[in-house]
Structure 1
Amino acid sequence: MPSLKTLLLVIVMLSSALFASSPDRYNVVWDSPSKDQHGSMPLGNGSTGINAWIEPNGDLVFYISRTDSWGDNGRLLKVGKVRIKLAPAPASNDFLQTLSLVDGTLKARYGDTDIRLWVDANNPVIHAEFNGPQKTAATASIELWRTKQFSIPSSWECSDVHLFRPRPGEKWGNLGPTVMEPDNLLNNKKDRIGWYHRNIKSVGPAMHAKIQGMADFKRTDPLLHRTFGAIITTKNGKKIDNTHLLSPQSKNHRFDIYVHTEHPATEHQWLNALEQLIAQTESIPFEKRRSAHAAWWKAFWQRSWIHATQSSKNEISKSLIPANKLNFSFGIDSNGNSRFAGKMGRTSLLNVALDENAIRQLAQDQESLSGFNPKELLFSATPNLHTELPNSDQWTNSPALTAEAWILPDTHAGSVRILNKTLVGSNEGFLLDTYPGNSLRLIVGEKVLMVKDCLVPEEWNHLAVVIDSQAGTIALYHNGEKIAEEKPERSLTDAYIVSRAYALQRYINACAGRGAYPIKFNGSIFTVEGFADGKSRGPDYRRWGSGYWWQNTRLPYISMLTSGDVEMTKPLYKMYCQDLFEYHKQRTRRHTGHGGIYVPECMYFWGEMFAETYGKKPFEERKDKLQDNRYHKWEWVSGLEMTFMMLDRYEHTLDEKFLKETTLPFATEVLKFFVEHYQTDKNGKLVMNPAQALETWWECTNPMDPVSGMRAVTNRLLDLPEHLSSPKLRQYWAQVQAKVPPLPTREYQGETIFAPAEKFAVCKNGEVPELYCVFPFRLASFEKANAEMARRTLHHRKARGNSGWRQDEIFMAYLGLADEAQKNLVGRAKNKHKGSRFPAFWGPNMDWIPDQDHGGILTKAFQSMILQSDGKKIFLQPAWPKDWNATFKLHAPYKTVIEGQVVNGKITKLKVTPKSRTKDVVMASDFKQP
């Protein structure tokens, strides 16, 4: 009978073939439990997230997180940790855990126990379900780590106010250590347990506001009395104590963990609000909620997809067996040792992957071998034991291999070789032996398959190994039955690895992208226990702290319109462009003495800049009111990028209300800042000095990022339909555009290329501002007259790479460089965090784990290789590699959906909705490639 894993793989293959939108092909499947939190899987509903894992003892454990669980030091804290234990625990080695993407659910089977864990897509609740044939008891426990006050050691972990601790001779009062307050357990619940964290103080906002000259801006303290926590319930639950809840003996258990944040709130107010949410949720039948949850995820996956595969011209996969120069040997290792002590009968090697029926037939006849194409048969005979087979060194280079052997193992054989083509101590090759004792061990490169005590000593056993590089599978058979199968990571094609990375990153975005605040670039809400300086910093740690850095924050969002995930962009614009709009205006007036808006690179969600960024000298004592930190002092491209992205949003959604109420007022104030902040030259052009190009080039005049940003934004504003703005406003935009200096260029090695700025002197970082005219502002791209100059600029760039926030793949895609973009993108997709088990936990790179910048660049680059747009034009395959096929569904401006298929470099199927937009589609064959 086929194993559970085999059935799962068959189901995945069938579903993927039948439904183009199905993400099942990218399900994450593990066949063993996880040691700790570094083997966690992410789940979430956009606001509440969990990192979940199943330990070897059968315990289900998960951290709970929120997008709005800000502590009193400004850190985004974990809500808590829950463990669920069965008694008796699962007592079997049979384990399979799957992240089912199609319904956002962790599904596992441990022995005869089925486990299901999911965060309701529509309600603030986590469901943990356990079902089995035998009665068990189940206990949910709360595992708090914030149990007492403690000091936070690192400035990057909190609101960095401890940078203001007094030094000898300084006048600032003694602020004392930065203290984390403990969580609180609920005491008065009979049939449930719970906990909460309440900010009894607020450390940072008031002080920051005073130092930065914004103390008189009226608002509610963003941290004080913010309260968040959870309540755990279960049917017929019995509270053991404040941290343990028992679900009595039953074949079925379900724990419901309700999570909520209330601000500002007392404990009583938070508890009442959560009880109301529980009542509202439970008023909806459970199965109806489950169906609605599955429907949300189904609709999400049906919005868009990109599935890339190797083209038919490249369909032969490389062998899963690492090449070496050794011959096959029978019954010995490469040194002539580990000698097989039993007997060997017929042994065969074929350069095809036999199916299960053929393997069964081989296992039924020990004497003859017939019915095979002679071209497929490499060797078949009773071999001479303890010898090697001449001229067999190339046989493992074939994409398929079947090895079969009859063996009679000795009772006390120990570790012995059966078939060997690998050096002792190396996994670079192929090895089949008995280890330990009468167990079987198969080594194929880095993949090791072991089945304990399966051989029958002093009896004939039939063994078969089938390696299918095209399918990416390794299977081990005993007496005609499959006893082990693996799909090695290294066997996956580059196209699949990139497609899976794209799907999993989009999934992670969905798990955290519908909350009250934007996605944190440095780990989102899926950080686990962090280590710094060799020491554990606990589960609340993340490098670069709790604030938002715009150049990093934007990256998870730059692909969302093309994937159709517009609603996930709301928290970004709500914080930056709506909630803080008036604050930005007052700060700009206070710091510069003129109108408009500038948005600093580094700030907290409540508006103030980081203390380290602005500096500790009070506003009233400053002659220069701007921030001190030279990496950000004149870095002002943020507002232009936000405006450009919001104009993208309008083109995709045609949402006139958002355009008029948010985008246009914000855009106009951002432009006003530059016009009023800088003087003009004799030609009426702005002279942006002092200025800088991103963080990288200091002492600049007319840097590329604001120059290209102003030009791109004014172009798009003036291209809007006239009824969406007033003549006065359009006249102002035109006047601003006339003041924008030309894109800066320079001569380099006898060629003209784009420059970081008209004048630039001091390099302090590793960004590529000279290519901001390519991305994000698309003033230079593959179809434009300046494309070749942009390509020269790309190839002459000093800073380069394909990890973290580096944008090289996007530059390459925008410039039509398919091969370069493909190579960089494949490298990015393979570059996961080695300490994390989940394949899309990137980092730390320059940020933290999982690095959302790394994934954000990946998703945008992959999209841009197959689809780009400029105004109403839609370009297909502008940088799509010739050796990748694809099926795709993506969103383009003007509410357009493009669905198509690429085969051997050509679009073979194309559906444009609405059909009227077909005239605006430009095929790859219609424009000149570089």
Structure 2
Amino acid sequence: MDKAKRATLAGLTAMAVVASARPGAGAERRQDDVDPLDRRMADYDPVWRSASRDAGESMPCGAGDIGLNVWVEGDDVLFYVARSGAFDETNSYLKLGRARLRFDPSPFGRGASFEQRLSLVTGEMVVTCGDLVVTLWADVASPIVRVAVESSAPVAMTATWESWRTHDRDYLPAEMSMHRAYDGAPVTPRQYADEVGFAEGGVLSLHHNRDNSVFDLLIEQQGLDEVKDQLWNPLAGLGFGALLHGDGFVPAGTVEGRYGSTAFIGWTLGSRRPQRRHELRLFCHVAQAPTRDEWIAGLRRLAMSDSGAAVSRRRSRRWWRSFWERSWIVVEPGGARPNSQPWRIGRNYQLFRHQLGTNARGAWPTKFNGGNFTVDPEFTQPELRLSPDYRAWGGGEFTAQNQRLVHWPMLKSGDSDLMRPQLDFYRRLRRTAELRTQHYWGHKGACFVEQIENFGLCCGQEWGWQRTWNKPATRMPGVEDSAFVDYLWDTVLEFCLMMLEVGRFTGAHVSGDLAFIDSCLTFFDEHYRREHARITGSELGADGKLVLFPGTACETYKNTLNSTVTIAGLDAVLAALLALPERMLGTALRERYAALRTTLPKLPTRRMSGRQVIAPAALWDRIQNVEIPQLYPVFPYHRFGVGLPNLQLAVDTWHHGVDTAAQKDIKSWHQDAIFCARLGLTDEAAMLTARKLDDSGRRYPTFWGPGHDWAPDHNWGGSGMIGLQEMLMQTPGDLIHLFPAWPRDWDVDFRLHAPHGTRVDATLQAGRLVALLVEPPAAQSRVVLPAWATGLEPS
């Protein structure tokens, strides 16, 4: 926006800005008997009044690092159970299993009133039919799923644990996307059966990985045998499974059946007698253990540590209430308005944030391609008649470009603790990345690939199975044999910036992050100096700048010279480091980083449609994909945007600087709404965000996809959240710009988080700011408002 139409709060002495001491604002601040949080979240609770046709019409529930897909079908309440980290020998990401609950007499399908509700404020799923109430939740502090059943009259109950991994088999060619490392490999990936049976007082299921896994396969493929003993292997001895248990339940036999296209065997527990109340517990154990017996011992310890349903419920409810009090965006507040697209945008923002919250304490980050909420693929693509374990784009393989979008929105929503699993993913792989660099190129620094397995090596398919280490290589050592991701190493810079931004927002810098970031910067500095010296004899170009060749601008512009993404990423990370206080960055490092920044090439530009625009790179030889890397200096790297210099150059790049129509889109990982919000293009940002965050077309509104990826598409939701946040608040430098790309006719009540431990609550009604609360109060001087929101805009 034009600077003439902005005013800082420090100068708004005549303006009536209401600063409330209570959370929330506007209509929600009435002194009535309903808690504002309960009222706000109840409007967003998903509620279904009829049963589902199949698992494709399931609702998500979960907590800690457990995800449940819950639905009612026929006379049964069913739910899939997934827990982060359940990777088999092939690095497929497997469900723990499926539970089926049945009641006698059954209330379902007999004309009784029906409701399935996800209570967002409690994190619980409640199914009510007649006088039967089934409540499910996952404990936030311990990997336990709980089922509580209440009925006004005694009912008998059975609980069946269903497994489809009942025999050893070769994975099918159609399942290759579950473990892409094997695509083209000289071996066939094999699935080994789970061990399932009546044990430990209930039904026990266990998958314990064999000694040989895809880790060993890729070590050999990528020529790393001499450093194998120094590399971390998270698949070795990994076991995952569950124990289904309930007081008063006894073994009641096994059943065989088929759900969708997949045969299963079920182990049934039955209640000894009809009762008005039943309780079940599902202990979900994932751990590395050298032997099966040691894994079982760990499961027993988990079961013995159970503090009971009442304690679990209280602490889980407290956690969810605290989660929702951290942050919200309510568009068109004042009650449910499902026929309004802006209202649905706000609701879906909240629903998707709930999905992210279910993996708040995971050892592994939420995966972009479904998280813990995938179901049988035939309910997404009918031709894929495969098991419920299927997902496209890998299990233990993490695509960096997609993962970042799942985690960036957590910063402004105040959920930086949810970012830790993603940042830990990189932290624990630093040594592997440094060993790869030393092994392949003989210099220092950490090199992270784009399609990265959870143990830090390149996906086998992207590395290329036609290159071997006893034949001439088709590629240089260390470079993927891939048309899309070769030389794509700069995504780690975004996670470096994420680490620094967490520190800037919260003040809590993680010990070791500066060393991690330094190692990543060292790789780029040393690698491109040595590459240029190898070719020309000089480390730097004639202008004294690094020559970033060969490189890539995302997966789209290939074989680049001086990729805009790499330059912007290095510049953003170095600028953030140089902004750190003296106590964190000593003189020697500060001088080193300042010197390195002077060696960065200028962002390349070109003329298109008569306008000067940012170019994706200085040179490239082909366009391979449909990203817009020339706008990565806008997002994620924030070199351009509202309140920053040269905004028009970036605006012209959006309007005139794209090469193909397919580069602009709203599905999956496309960032168009974020770009437009950062550029202050209100109408375009609103239109794109409305399309991005509107209902998915599935029964559950935020199960988007498959798009480019899989369903539910979590990087679709994450990028949508970022766009909505950026429309409301941007934080260049120390300033806090409110409503930089917000439509005046969208009423909104929000709480978001800004740098330096700042929290902003604001309410906009009829195009005017009617309430504002900034904590701490001193931060109010950093707030910048558009004149139209303050009433000071000239008539």
TM over 0.5, yes or no? Answer: yes
Shift of 1:292: 0.8
1:721-748 deviations in Å (ceiling 9; x for gaps): 1110221111110111010011111011
What is the root-mean-square deviation in Å for CA atoms of aligned residues? Answer: 2.3
Following the alignment from structure 1 to structure 2, what is the Cα–Cα distance between the partners of residues 567 and 213? 37
Q: Output aligned runs, 1:196-345, within 5 Å.
A: 196-215=206-225, 216-217=227-228, 218-219=230-231, 221-241=233-253, 243-247=267-271, 248-281=273-306, 284-309=307-332
Following the alignment from structure 1 to structure 2, what is the Cα–Cα distance between the partners of residues 910 and 663? 39
1:560 paired with 2:410, answer yes
Equivalent residue for 2:192, pick from 181, 190, 203: 181
Following the alignment from structure 2 to structure 1, what is the Cα–Cα distance between the partners of residues 603 and 146? 55
Following the alignment from structure 1 to structure 2, what is the Cα–Cα distance between the partners of residues 219 and 688? 29
1:863 paired with 2:713, answer no
Gaps of 5+ in 1: 1-12, 167-174, 312-469, 473-488
Instruction: Verify the 8 A CA contact 2:176 2:183 in the aligned structure 1.
Output: no
Instruction: Verify the 8 A CA contact 2:121 2:317 in the aligned structure 1.
Output: yes
Shift of 1:683: 1.5
What corresponds to 2:675 in structure 1? Answer: 811
Q: Output aligned runs, 1:461-500, within 5 Å.
A: 489=338, 491=339, 493-500=340-347
Shift of 1:220: 5.2
> Which amino acid in structure 1 is aligned with residue 569 of structure 2?
G
Following the alignment from structure 1 to structure 2, what is the Cα–Cα distance between the partners of residues 783 and 580? 37
Q: Output aligned runs, 1:899-910, within 5 Å.
A: 899-910=761-772
What corresponds to 1:334 in structure 2? Answer: none
- Higher RCO, Cα 8 Å, sep 6+: 2
What corresponds to 1:317 in structure 2? Answer: none
1:97 paired with 2:116, answer yes
1:543-592 deviations in Å (ceiling 9; x for gaps): 1122111001111101101111111111111111x211011011112223
What corresponds to 1:829 in structure 2? Answer: 693
Instruction: Verify the 8 A CA contact 1:522 1:849 in the aligned structure 2.
Output: yes
Following the alignment from structure 1 to structure 2, what is the Cα–Cα distance between the partners of residues 254 and 98? 19
Following the alignment from structure 1 to structure 2, what is the Cα–Cα distance between the partners of residues 731 and 778? 23
> Which amino acid in structure 2 is aligned with residue 256 of structure 1?
R
**SS of equivalent to 1:103:** coil
Q: Output aligned runs, 1:779-790, within 5 Å.
A: 779-790=639-650
Instruction: Verify the 8 A CA contact 1:22 1:301 in the aligned structure 2.
Output: no
Shift of 1:141: 0.6
Following the alignment from structure 2 to structure 1, what is the Cα–Cα distance between the partners of residues 457 and 517? 24
> Which amino acid in structure 2 is aligned with residue 840 of structure 1?
T
Distance change in 2, residues 1:156/1:821 (3 Å): farther
1:805-824 deviations in Å (ceiling 9; x for gaps): 10000000000111111111
Distance change in 2, residues 1:810/1:921 (3 Å): same
What corresponds to 2:69 in structure 1? Answer: 51
Distance change in 2, residues 1:724/1:245 (3 Å): same
**SS of equivalent to 1:522:** coil
**SS of equivalent to 2:128:** strand
Instruction: State the TM-score, normalizing by the size of structure 1.
Output: 0.75
> Which amino acid in structure 1 is aligned with residue 383 of structure 2?
G
Distance change in 2, residues 1:291/1:513 (3 Å): closer
**SS of equivalent to 1:846:** coil
Following the alignment from structure 2 to structure 1, what is the Cα–Cα distance between the partners of residues 416 and 410? 6
What corresponds to 1:134 in structure 2? Answer: 153
Q: Output aligned runs, 1:746-761, within 5 Å.
A: 746-761=606-621
Following the alignment from structure 1 to structure 2, what is the Cα–Cα distance between the partners of residues 161 and 632? 14
Distance change in 2, residues 1:925/1:20 (3 Å): farther
Following the alignment from structure 1 to structure 2, what is the Cα–Cα distance between the partners of residues 21 and 794? 40
Following the alignment from structure 1 to structure 2, what is the Cα–Cα distance between the partners of residues 561 and 903? 26
> Which amino acid in structure 1 is aligned with residue 191 of structure 2?
M
Runs of 4+ in 1 over 6 A off after TM superposition: 13-17, 926-929
Distance change in 2, residues 1:89/1:552 (3 Å): same
1:514 paired with 2:357, answer no
Equivalent residue for 2:493, pick from 635, 640, 663: 640
Distance change in 2, residues 1:517/1:149 (3 Å): same
What corresponds to 1:31 in structure 2? Answer: 49
Distance change in 2, residues 1:663/1:135 (3 Å): same
**Paired positions, count:** 726
1:72-99 deviations in Å (ceiling 9; x for gaps): 1110000101111111111433101110
Following the alignment from structure 2 to structure 1, what is the Cα–Cα distance between the partners of residues 627 and 153? 60
Following the alignment from structure 1 to structure 2, what is the Cα–Cα distance between the partners of residues 728 and 123? 45
Distance change in 2, residues 1:910/1:209 (3 Å): same
Instruction: Verify the 8 A CA contact 2:121 2:324 in the aligned structure 1.
Output: yes
1:820 paired with 2:672, answer no
Distance change in 2, residues 1:20/1:261 (3 Å): closer
Shift of 1:228: 0.9
Q: Output aligned runs, 1:603-618, within 5 Å.
A: 603-616=452-465, 617-618=467-468
> Which amino acid in structure 1 is aligned with residue 618 of structure 2?
E
Instruction: Verify the 8 A CA contact 2:198 2:251 in the aligned structure 1.
Output: no
> Which amino acid in structure 2 is aligned with residue 564 of structure 1?
G
Instruction: Verify the 8 A CA contact 1:660 1:724 in the aligned structure 2.
Output: no
**SS of equivalent to 1:70:** coil
Distance change in 2, residues 1:712/1:619 (3 Å): farther
Distance change in 2, residues 1:530/1:292 (3 Å): same
What corresponds to 1:466 in structure 2? Answer: none
Shift of 1:187: 4.0
Instruction: Verify the 8 A CA contact 1:37 1:529 in the aligned structure 2.
Output: yes
Instruction: State the TM-score, normalizing by the size of structure 2.
Output: 0.88
What corresponds to 1:404 in structure 2? Answer: none
Following the alignment from structure 2 to structure 1, what is the Cα–Cα distance between the partners of residues 570 and 469? 30
Shift of 1:15: 8.3
Instruction: Verify the 8 A CA contact 2:695 2:701 in the aligned structure 1.
Output: no
Following the alignment from structure 1 to structure 2, what is the Cα–Cα distance between the partners of residues 511 and 310? 25
Which of 1 and 2 has greater Rg?
1
Q: Output aligned runs, 1:425-436, within 5 Å.
A: none
1:272-319 deviations in Å (ceiling 9; x for gaps): 1111111111xx2432221111000000000000101189xxxxxxxx
**SS of equivalent to 1:907:** strand
Deviates more, 1:14-23 or 1:719-728: 14-23
What corresponds to 2:92 in structure 1? Answer: 75
1:880 paired with 2:727, answer no
Deviates more, 1:604-613 or 1:633-642: 633-642
Gaps of 5+ in 2: 1-30, 255-266, 533-538
Following the alignment from structure 1 to structure 2, what is the Cα–Cα distance between the partners of residues 187 and 131? 26
Among the aligned pairs, what percent are the same residue? 30
> Which amino acid in structure 2 is aligned with residue 624 of structure 1?
M
Equivalent residue for 2:179, pick from 159, 168, 172: 159
What corresponds to 2:348 in structure 1? Answer: 501
What corresponds to 1:108 in structure 2? Answer: 127
Distance change in 2, residues 1:662/1:34 (3 Å): farther
Following the alignment from structure 2 to structure 1, what is the Cα–Cα distance between the partners of residues 33 and 45? 12
> Which amino acid in structure 1 is aligned with residue 204 of structure 2?
G
**SS of equivalent to 1:536:** coil
